[in-house]
Chains A and B, each alone.
Chain A
Amino acid sequence: MKQRIGIATILAGLGILMVGYLKVKREAPQSDLVQAPLPEVVDYNFHIKPILSDNCYTCHGPDANKRKAGLRLDMEEEALGELPENPGKFAIVPGKPARSLLHVRIHSRDENQVMPPPDSKLSLTWREKKLLEKWIEQGAEFERHWAFMPPEKAPLPTVTDTAFIQNEIDVFVLRKLEENGLQPSPRADLPTLYRRISLDLNGLPPSPDILKFADIPAERVGISDYIDSLMKLPAYGERMTQNWLDIARYADSHGYQDDSYRSMWPWRDWVIHAFNENMPYDEFLKWQLAGDLLPGANREQVLATGFNRNHPITQEGGVIQEEYQSAYVVDRTNTFGKAVLGVTLECAKCHDHKYDAISQKEYYQVYAFFNNVDEKGLQMDAVQAAQNHFFADPPFITITREETEKLLSIVNMEDTESVNVMVMNDSMPRQTYVLNRGNYDEPGDAVFPGTPEEILPFPDSLPKNRLGLARWTTDPANPLTARVFVNRIWALLFGQGLVRTPEDFGVQGSLPTHPELLDWLAADFVENGWDIRYLLKKIMLSATYQQQSRLTPELRQADPENLLLGRAGRFRLSGEMIRDYILATSGLLNRDIGGPSVKPYQPPGLWEETNAGGNRGILTKYEADSGEKLYRRSLYTFWKRTLPPPNMTIFDAPTRDFSEVRRQQTNTPLQALALQNDIQVLEASRVLAQRIIGSGQAEGTWVPEVFRTILMRHPSQGEREALGRFYRDMYQRYATRPEDADPLLQVGSYQLKDTDRARTAALMLTAQVIYNLAETITRE
Chain B
Amino acid sequence: MMNDNPLSEHPLKVNRRHFFSQLSVGIGSLALGSLLIPDLFTRSGPTQVSPAPGLPHFAPRAKRIIYLFQAGAPSQLETFDYKPTLLQRMGEDLPESVRQGQRLTGMTSEQERFPLMPAAVGFKQYGESGAWVSDYFPYLSKIVDDLCFVKSMHTEAINHDPAITFFQTGSQISGRPSMGSWMSYGLGNENKNLPSFVVLTSRGKGNSQGLYSKLWSSGFLDSKHQGVLLRSGHNPVLYLNNPDGVSRSDKRHMLDHVATLNELHQNATGDDEIESRIAQYEMAYRMQMSVPEVMDVTKEPEHIVKLYGEDCQVPGTYAANALQARRLAENGVRFIQLYHQGWDQHGNLPDEMAGQARDVDQASAALIIDLKQRGLLEDTLVIWGGEFGRTNYCQGNFDPKNYGRDHHPRAFSIWMAGGGVKPGITYGRTDEFGYNIEENPVHINDFHATLMYAMGLDHEKLTYKYQGRRFRLTDVAGNVIDDLLA
Contacts and interface: CB of A to CB of B under 8 A. Distances in A.
Contacts of A716: 264
Interface stretch (A387-395, A461-469, A694-702, A769-777): A769-777
Given A740-B245, A773-B258, A613 B161 contact: no
Interface in B234-271: 235, 237-247, 250-251, 253-254, 257-258, 260-262, 264-266, 268-271
A295 interface: no
A611 interface: yes
A544 interface: no
Given A740-B245, A747-B243, A318 B105 contact: yes
A259 interface: yes
Contacts of B238: 603, 646, 650, 670, 673-674
Interface string B46-76: 0100000110000000000000000000000
Interface in B262-321: 262, 264-266, 268-274, 276-277, 280-281, 283-284, 287-288
Contacts of B99: none
B201 interface: yes
Contact of B23 (A10, A256, A769): A10
A265 B203 CA distance: 33
Nearest to B260: A722
B261 A314 contact: no
Given A354-B469, A667-B273, A672-B281, A655 B223 contact: no
Contacts of A504: 467-468
Nearest to A772: B258
Contact of A769 (B212, B241, B261, B271): B261
Contacts of B261: 719, 722-723, 769-770, 773
Given A320-B105, A769-B258, A612 B209 contact: yes
A154 interface: no
B228 interface: yes
B175 interface: yes
A666 B27 CA distance: 29
Chain B CB within 10 Å — which of A503, A642, A677 has the most? A677
A320 to B, nearest CB: 6
A220 B473 CA distance: 52
A5 to B, nearest CB: 13
A551 B341 contact: no
Contacts of B269: 549-551, 570, 780
B277 A344 contact: no
Nearest to B240: A673
B105 A319 contact: yes
B129 interface: no
B18 interface: no
B101 to A, nearest CB: 11
Contact of B223 (A320, A506, A664, A726): A664
Contact of B467 (A508, A552, A652): A508
Given A354-B469, A723-B257, A774-B273, A609 B210 contact: no
Interface in B173-217: 174-175, 201, 203, 208-214, 217
From B201, B258, B407, residue with most partner A Cβ within 10 Å: B258
A658 B174 contact: yes
Contacts of A765: 246, 250, 254
A176 to B, nearest CB: 21
Contact of A674 (B43, B109, B239): B239
Contact of B460 (A121, A501, A549): A121
- Which of B105, B208, B243, B274 is the most central at the interface, judged by chain A CB atoms within 10 Å of its CB? B243
Interface in B320-352: 341-342, 346
B2 interface: yes
Contact of A355 (B41, B460, B468): B468
A741 B222 CA distance: 39
A697 to B, nearest CB: 22
Contacts of B126: none
Contact of B53 (A25, A719, A780): A25
Contact of B160 (A257, A259, A667, A669): A257
A611 B210 CA distance: 4
Interface string A666-682: 11111111101110001
Max chain A C-beta neighbours (<10 A), residue from B43, B47, B257, B262 = B257
Contacts of A646: 238
A316 B270 contact: no
A657 B228 contact: no
B461 interface: yes
B159 A316 contact: yes
A49 to B, nearest CB: 12
B393 to A, nearest CB: 15
Interface in A721-758: 722-723, 725-726, 729-730, 733, 740-747
A666 B222 contact: yes
The residue among B2, B43, B213 with the most chain A CB atoms within 10 A of its own CB is: B213
Contacts of A678: 239
Contacts of B254: 676, 726, 765, 768-769, 772
B280 A657 contact: no
Nearest to B269: A550
A26 B53 contact: yes
B362 interface: no
B175 A316 contact: no
Interface in A283-334: 312, 314, 316-321
B121 interface: no
Given A318-B107, A506-B468, A612-B341, A553 B223 contact: no
Contacts of B11: none
A468 to B, nearest CB: 27
B217 A655 contact: yes
Nearest to B53: A26
Identify the interface centre among A501, A503, A658, A729: most chain B CB within 10 Å of its CB.
Answer: A729
A668 B224 CA distance: 7
A761 interface: yes
A441 interface: yes
B265 A773 contact: yes
Contact of A671 (B210, B211, B231, B280): B280
B375 interface: no
A434 B233 CA distance: 52
A570 B105 CA distance: 51
A657 B223 contact: no
B52 to A, nearest CB: 11
B223 A668 contact: yes
A508 B235 contact: no
Interface string A250-276: 000000111100000000000000000
A659 to B, nearest CB: 10
Nearest to B54: A26
B235 A603 contact: yes
A507 interface: yes
A7 B23 contact: yes
Contact of A677 (B233, B240, B407): B240
B265 A775 contact: yes
Contacts of B346: 317-318
A741 B270 contact: no
Interface in A314-364: 314, 316-321, 344, 347, 354-355
Given A317-B106, A550-B270, A677-B239, A508 B265 contact: no
Given A354-B469, A741-B245, A609 B231 contact: yes
B460 to A, nearest CB: 6
A643 interface: yes
Given A504-B468, A769-B254, 11 more contacts: A257-B161, A259-B212, A318-B106, A506-B468, A641-B212, A655-B217, A668-B223, A674-B238, A743-B244, A772-B258, A774-B265
17 contacts: A25-B53, A314-B161, A320-B106, A347-B468, A550-B268, A553-B270, A603-B235, A610-B213, A616-B210, A674-B239, A677-B240, A722-B264, A730-B250, A746-B244, A761-B245, A769-B254, A774-B271
> Closest 8 interchain pairs by CB?
A508-B468, A744-B245, A318-B107, A551-B270, A743-B244, A642-B212, A318-B105, A672-B284
